Amino acid sequence: MNARWLAGKVGAALLTLAFVLVFNFFLFRGLGDPTTQLARLPQSSPEEIEQLKRDYGLDKPLVGQFADYVGDTLTFDLGISQRTREPVWEEIKNAIPWTLLLVGAGTLFATLLGAWMGVVAATKRGKRTDTGFLGFSLFTYAAPEYWIGIILILVFAVAVPIFPAGQQVTPGVEFSNWLSEAFDVADHLVLPAIAMTLLLLGQYFLIMRSSMVDVLTEDFITVKRATGLPWHRVVSKHAVPNALLPLVTIAAIQFGAVAGGAITIETIFSWPGLGELSFNAINDKDFPMLQGTFLVFSAGVILANLIADCLYFFLDPRVQTR
């Protein structure tokens, strides 16, 4: 692997992250006096506010404050949540696996389903299936994912109650073993994962479709057909592997949408991830928590982009020779 190329990518990612830190710092200090947000006590005396300023290092010059902020952040000290009075990082740490589970399930299903739909549509171009898939993907692009989520609850949790309407496990149940607990979580995951899948599906499908259309018109496909290889073998053995590559790129572009979807979908389903933390922080004006979740969302998207870049590097030999 080209070490210089990798160093460049990592450097760019770190620089982007550094800008997030600068942005976060100035945003929350520049647009509003942090002491009024920190105090939260309606009748704080001037002395108490002075004490708070000293406690939080707000009496130092801005550069010193920024150094403190960067130092704290690098040691995972993200402050105290104003809502729960718990350390922000503790809450975020507990929330990350749940968000990864939801996002991972959604991305996996959207990739598989989108790739399959794309292959089918491209091989049946212009036919009714193709038009139907195109219409469906446009609809899922335009429809808000939280609206779809609410309808899923109304239909599959209330009208025909086959799935739970929210949360990650059935409350108050003692599980005899980890397997039954895993099944319970999976049961709760179904509806939010469907909402996440539908959020991503349209783009994955459109990319896979156009990529397949490109590959199917290439000469080597015609040659393979001329050798008498059955059509389905030409598609599965030769066209699909070549058309899969752009999915990696689109996955990277979609990470931002995934983060946004996590906020709304977790809100709808009371899924205890980063998105629900953000939503609670919005309602309670819990600025340290909002700052923390924004930082972690951004870091996650930057990291995911970096991984996608590296994956692309390994998968496409043409990039390496450039």
Partner 1 sequence: MTGARARELLFGTWRGRFGLSVLALFILMAIFGSAIAPYDPEASSLDVLQPPSRDHLLGTTESGADVLSQLLAGARISIVVGFAAAIISAVIGAAVGLFSGYFGGWTDRILDALDNWFLVIPTLPLMVVLSRILNPSLGVLILVIGITSWAGTGRIVRSQVLTLRERSFVERARALGASHWYIIRTHIFPNALPLIFANTVLIVAVAILSEAALSFLGLGDPTQISWGTMLENAFAAGAPSAEAWWYVIPPGLCITLVVLSVAMLGYLFEEYVNPRLLEESFESTA
Residues in contact with partner 1 by the rule CB under 8 A: 15-16, 19-20, 27-28, 31-32, 125-126, 130-131, 134-135, 138-139, 141-144, 146-148, 150-151, 153-154, 157-159, 165, 210, 213, 255-260, 263-264, 267-268, 278-279, 281-283, 285, 287, 290-291, 293-294, 297-298, 301-302, 305
In the complex, the smallest distance separating the C-beta of residue 174 from partner 1, rounded to whole angstroms, is: 26
Long-range CB contacts (within 8 A, 24+) of 281-284: 281/81, 281/83, 284/82, 284/83
| Contact present, 196 and 273 (Cβ < 8 Å) | no
Of residues 198, 190, 106, 99, the one with CA closest to residue 144: 198
In the complex, the smallest distance separating the C-beta of residue 87 from partner 1, rounded to whole angstroms, is: 20
Q: What is the largest CA-CA distance in the chain?
A: 88
In the complex, the smallest distance separating the C-beta of residue 69 from partner 1, rounded to whole angstroms, is: 16
In the complex, the smallest distance separating the C-beta of residue 175 from partner 1, rounded to whole angstroms, is: 26
Nearer to partner 1, 197 or 264 (CB): 264
Q: What values do phi and psi take at 80, rounded to 5?
A: -110, 135
The two tokens of residue 194 are 């469907």
Nearer to partner 1, 238 or 276 (CB): 276
The two tokens of residue 241 are 């592997």
- How far apart CA 156 and CA 150 sit, in angstroms, is 10
Nearer to partner 1, 80 or 150 (CB): 150
In the complex, the smallest distance separating the C-beta of residue 259 from partner 1, rounded to whole angstroms, is: 4
In the complex, the smallest distance separating the C-beta of residue 52 from partner 1, rounded to whole angstroms, is: 20
Cα distance between the two ends of the chain: 13
What count of Cα atoms within 13 Å lies in the side-chain half-sphere of residue 71?
Answer: 7
Nearer to partner 1, 71 or 161 (CB): 161
Of residues 87, 320, 270, the one with CA closest to residue 166: 270
| Contact present, 308 and 252 (Cβ < 8 Å) | yes
In the complex, the smallest distance separating the C-beta of residue 179 from partner 1, rounded to whole angstroms, is: 30
In the complex, the smallest distance separating the C-beta of residue 210 from partner 1, rounded to whole angstroms, is: 6
Rounded (10°) CA dihedral 73, 21, 274, 246: -130
The two tokens of residue 67 are 């150094």
- How far apart CA 38 and CA 80 sit, in angstroms, is 10
Nearer to partner 1, 159 or 226 (CB): 159
Nearer to partner 1, 109 or 269 (CB): 269
Nearer to partner 1, 155 or 229 (CB): 155
In the complex, the smallest distance separating the C-beta of residue 180 from partner 1, rounded to whole angstroms, is: 26
Nearer to partner 1, 130 or 181 (CB): 130
- How far apart CA 94 and CA 78 sit, in angstroms, is 14
- How far apart CA 182 and CA 197 sit, in angstroms, is 20
Nearer to partner 1, 229 or 270 (CB): 270
